[in-house]
Amino acid sequence: MKNNRNALAPFIIEMVTLRLILSSCASQPTPTPTSRPTSIPTLVPSNTTTPTTTPVPLPDIILQPGDFYFSVNGQTSFIFSRNVAGYQQAHYNTFLDWTKAGGSKFARIQLDSLGMGYTSTGNVDEDWAVQWDRVFDKAEADGIYILPVFSGWFDWNAGAGYSTWKSNPLNQANGGPVQSPAELFQRGSATQTMWMQWMQTLVNRWQGRNNILGWEVFSEVNLASGVTESTGIDFVNSAVELIRAADPTHRPVTASLAGNG
């Protein structure tokens, strides 16, 4: 979005939250599988599984004060988006090509779909980060902005329903320091500090990319174990402050809720 980020931030946060997050999360029932698939689905690959030979220029997306719709390359337009998800880097090559062919301008991407991204000591998993570097390169080559989501409720759910907590590297059972997911939402806890530092490291790594539309702190934060309304709000606000400090362009920052009634 070039040099319009500062002026657009209040408008884009609202639009992203209402158009993208709530429509993709709140309107759908909470998933109930007990674990991630044990086998990876086979996708029919697109013709292009490596970055596009001739990169597609990123569109110039602008929202002027008082406008009800975005302008894309100077023309009033809806901003069509995708909630892209896969379990392998190759899946994203295919999905991004489909997104491009479908005319979407940006994609929301859940970063923990390729693993949670941190080691048992809270450091960035470099192999994981490199995979995302390649996915982001592919998206930019296809002319697509991205909204990375740092984590999701299921990684921090020790209760009933869908949960990947047992495979969370920070779980004490896996050699990490965390006894309960609730520690993530306790202000000043070692767990929250560790996770925030990990998140900020990623923002520092990726903030120079032209096709980062914004940042999503957490997906469906109200479903995580041990979170309350007040601690969830405080957690998100704390993360926003750190992201703002790490991203000099001050891109929009958001978080999403589950519409579970």
Contact (Cβ atoms closer than 8 angstroms) between residue 79 and residue 106: yes
- Domains identified in the chain, total number: 1
Nearest-angstrom CA–CA distance, 231 and 168 = 21
Residue 160: exposed, middle, or buried by beta-carbon count in 10 A (0-12, 13-18, 19+)? exposed
Residue 103: inside a domain, yes or no?
Answer: yes
Residue 122: inside a domain, yes or no?
Answer: yes
Residue 31: inside a domain, yes or no?
Answer: no
Tokens of 169: 């590297």
Residue 44: inside a domain, yes or no?
Answer: no
- Whole-angstrom CA distances from 226 to 8, 161, 182, 184, 249 are 34, 15, 4, 9, 33
Closest among 174, 163, 165 to 121, alpha carbons compared: 174
* CATH of residue 186: 3.20.20.80
Closest among 70, 68, 83 to 25, alpha carbons compared: 83
pLDDT of residue 3: 41
Closest among 44, 55, 142 to 99, alpha carbons compared: 142
Residue 169: inside a domain, yes or no?
Answer: yes
Range of the structural domain that residue 211 is part of: 81-254
pLDDT tens by residue, the chain, 261 residues: 444 444 343 333 333 333 333 333 333 344 444 344 433 343 444 444 444 457 888 988 887 888 888 888 888 887 778 898 899 999 999 999 999 999 888 999 999 999 999 999 999 999 999 999 999 999 999 999 999 999 999 999 998 889 999 999 999 999 999 999 999 999 999 999 999 999 999 999 999 999 999 999 999 999 999 999 999 999 999 999 999 999 999 999 999 999 865
Nearest-angstrom CA–CA distance, 105 and 60 = 10
The distance from CA 183 to its chain's CA centroid, rounded to whole angstroms, is 21
Residue 37: inside a domain, yes or no?
Answer: no
